[in-house]
């Protein structure tokens, strides 16, 4: 029975994301707490909230999950957060004005938001929420029109990115993320790795899947893994 309990704890208690640790998850919780709180307070101070329009909109919470839990993700970088959210909100407002049926408009808005974000290299999942909110939101959002994309969406997104940047300076993560070893960690990279960038491209093309990690990070990961393998074989 105790063995079964330990097995279940290891299975369900282990972070799903590769490279994640309990320290990282705890830091993500603190970061989200601080980031959302600062974003809400700052948005209120600059006067974006009114009797009908909130200072903070719900999809920004999803942006916070990406920003603080997976800061290395291409989807969590500053341009995807700011550009993806604002562009999706603009798309949603436009679709809401052109398509009278809510059901059809909702699907069209999210689909067009994905296309726009993909073309502009700012794919950000919460953007779909902003596109949907622009279509299905209450009267205050509908009345705001394109101003909704500026305040609160753009302001919330910008403030959250600033909060994330400041927080990750303290937490030790590279943000905006670059495919380099984190400061304070000495990493020796093999000069002649067995895997080359073109091999990674070929493997990605063969698998035909989209992974939430950059090509540069994959290259760095493989090079460091090769160094560990060489050290293990030398023992």
141-188 pLDDT tens trace:
999 999 999 999 999 999 999 999 999 999 888 899 886 655 445 555
- CA 159, 93, 96, 46 dihedral sign is positive
* DSSP 8-class letter at 216: H
pLDDT at 233: 72
H helix runs in the chain, sequence order: 2-13, 22-45, 60-69, 78-98, 102-119, 126-136, 139-144, 147-148, 155-171, 197-207, 215-234
- What three-state secondary structure class fits 139? helix
pLDDT at 232: 72
Position with higher pLDDT, 14 vs 230: 230
Q: Exposed, middle or buried by CB within 10 Å (0-12, 13-18, 19+), for 95?
A: buried
Residue 140 CA to residue 11 CA, distance in Å, equals 46
pLDDT at 15: 55
State mean pLDDT over 112-136: 97
pLDDT at 16: 60
Report whether pLDDT(82) > 70. yes
pLDDT at 9: 45
Q: Which two tokens stand for residue 26?
A: 């705890």
pLDDT confidence band for 8 (50 / 70 / 90): very low
Number of Cα atoms under 13 Å in the Cβ half of residue 113: 33
- Closest-CA residue to 175 (of 167, 225, 203, 30): 167
CB 135 within 8 A of CB 96: yes
pLDDT at 183: 46
Other Cβ atoms closer than 10 A to 99: 16
Give the whole-number percent of the chain exceeding pLDDT 70: 74
Q: Which two tokens stand for residue 124?
A: 């950000």
pLDDT confidence band for 224 (50 / 70 / 90): confident
Max avg pLDDT among 128-142, 184-198, 207-221? 128-142
Report whether pLDDT(128) > 80. yes
pLDDT confidence band for 57 (50 / 70 / 90): very high
pLDDT at 208: 73
State mean pLDDT over 45-58: 74
State mean pLDDT over 40-56: 76
């Amino acid at each position: 029975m105790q063995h079964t309990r330990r097995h279940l704890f290891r299975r369900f208690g282990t972070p799903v994301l590769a490279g994640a640790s309990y320290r990282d998850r705890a830091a993500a919780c603190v970061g989200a707490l601080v980031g959302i709180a600062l974003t809400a307070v700052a948005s209120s101070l600059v006067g974006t909230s009114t009797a009908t329009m909130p200072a903070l909109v719900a999809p920004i919470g999803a942006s916070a999950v990406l920003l603080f839990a997976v800061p290395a993700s291409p989807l969590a970088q500053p341009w995807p957060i700011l550009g993806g959210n604002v562009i999706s909100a603009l798309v949603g407002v436009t679709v809401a004005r052109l398509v009278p049926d809510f059901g059809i408009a909702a699907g069209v808005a999210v689909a067009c938001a994905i296309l726009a974000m993909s073309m502009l290299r700012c794919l950000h999942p919460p953007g779909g929420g902003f596109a949907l909110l622009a279509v299905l939101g209450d009267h205050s959002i509908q009345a705001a029109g394109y101003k909704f994309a500026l305040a609160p969406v753009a302001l919330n997104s910008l403030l959250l990115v600033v909060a994330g940047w400041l927080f990750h300076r303290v937490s030790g993560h590279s943000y905006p993320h670059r495919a380099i070893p984190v400061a304070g960690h000495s990493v020796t990279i093999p000069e002649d790795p067995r895997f080359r960038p073109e091999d990674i491209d070929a493997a990605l093309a063969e698998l035909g899947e989209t992974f939430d990690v950059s090509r540069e990070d994959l290259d760095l990961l493989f090079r460091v893994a090769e160094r560990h393998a060489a050290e293990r074989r030398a023992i």
